[in-house]
Structure 1
Amino acid sequence: MRFAKEELKEYPVSEVCKVLGVSKSNYYKERKRTEKEEKEEEKAVVQSFAENHGRYGRIRIRKELQRKGIEISEYRISNILRKNGLKAKCGRRRKWRKEKKDAPQYLEENLIKKKFEVVQPNYLWCSDITELRCHGTKVYVCGIIDVATRRIVGWSIAKTQTQKLVQDAFRMAVGRNPKRPENAVYHSDRGCQYTAKKTKELVESHGFRKSMSRPGKPNDNQPIESFWRTLECEMDDIRSLRFEEAARTIVNFIEMYYNADRLHSGINYMSPNDFFSL
């Protein structure tokens, strides 16, 4: 009926009914039902877009609606979004954070070499620091992502990027995940926070092997870099917030949205928490 409505609307109803092999009464009944369905579909798409604060495009909206038993094409979703003037937020290329190289350095080889096809939870963690801006100051966030489940297992937030920032995030991660496989890997760049002696000792004391990216190669740490693109796209609105409120906004995004609800393409469009629970 949607085809008939869109493609045959220039033709008389009697001719359309003849082509479709239906009576006029059934045609109008079906057309009314189709219009109702279209309104319900439009409402569902707009609602999904709003509930995810403009973060979902046509692919994720379709996946979310499928989980609710609503089948609708990406093409139809695109048309609805366009009709309502809705455009999803999109990630942008990250500005590469220059690594600070202070002596002494405890450098490690790259153990993973971009091999991110990991299936065992907590076997490979990737960590990095990103810089955001809020009212009157900078915000530094250290995050640790579990590559197998895409969960952010540890994080810390501060006004300065110190060893403590990295170490606090790591302590959170190991505290939340006491069960870990042997020979687990903790990967990072070569910034001074990661090459520090105390950081090395902390990581190794929990049974992790330390791995580091090649100098100036952010793609060696792709899983956490991908997360930062998502986070930074979402955090434009914290520029007007003071540090404490900005920090709460970031924590809420990580814990209540990204880990708990956001559908991730790398784990079959499930949320990290749901995938971890399988």
Structure 2
Amino acid sequence: MQVKNSVFVITGGGRGLGRAMAESLAKQGGKLALIDLDQGTLDEAAAACSELGGESRGYVCNITDESAVEQTFKQIVTDFGEINGLVNNAGLMRDGMLIKVKDGELQAKMSLEQFQSVVEVNMTGTFLCGREAAAAMATQGTGGVIVNISSVSRAGNMGQTNYSATKAAVATMVTSWAGELARHKIRVGGIAPGVIATEMTAQMKPEAIERMVAAVPVRRLGEVEEMAHTLQYIIENEFFTGRIVEMDGGLRI
């Protein structure tokens, strides 16, 4: 698929990795429909993408709300005429240990709300957006591509029962959807990033960043441009489907 003049929906597109990937596609003439929760953030991101050469619009939508997702995707089709690609990027982290015990006494437990809030955004949101994008692409008859953003944590990580479980689920959706949607000329891929340098990591303590870098074989954090490059590869390579690209600097060996 050519990026130029194709319409891409990006969830969590108002900031961070989502905005970086959107701007990369905009530079190549892609048209962007950005989904996020904050109108101001969306306005800034859409304006930046438009300045880079890609028509762009922002849509405030809670991706855990089925009716809101359905309406948003209908509006995107109305505004742009079609949907050619979806990047399921929106995600939530609420890390915590399953239990905390000190001197034989239970101190704390991960709450059901803490677990389910991450499931709702990362897993249910990915499902709803993927379903609506697939429906639009299949009925258009021109096919398209869906890219789910998983994580190196999909293999399991201490303190991330909720996050790891959802990112594993997001990865399995790639395989399931690739098999189901191929008949409609829809490819499905995934990216499992390690630690990427973003606004969030920039706010971390230097010693915390040093510990993370020490665990990565290439001895640095990933760059948002490298994530964008990986996304572009999946979009443009018509033989790529049903697979996950681990973009982690060799962290998970």
Give TM class, smaller chain: under 0.3
Work out which of the two has the higher radius of gyration on C-alpha atoms and give 1 or 2: 1
> TM-score with structure 1 length normalisation?
0.26
> TM-score with structure 2 length normalisation?
0.28
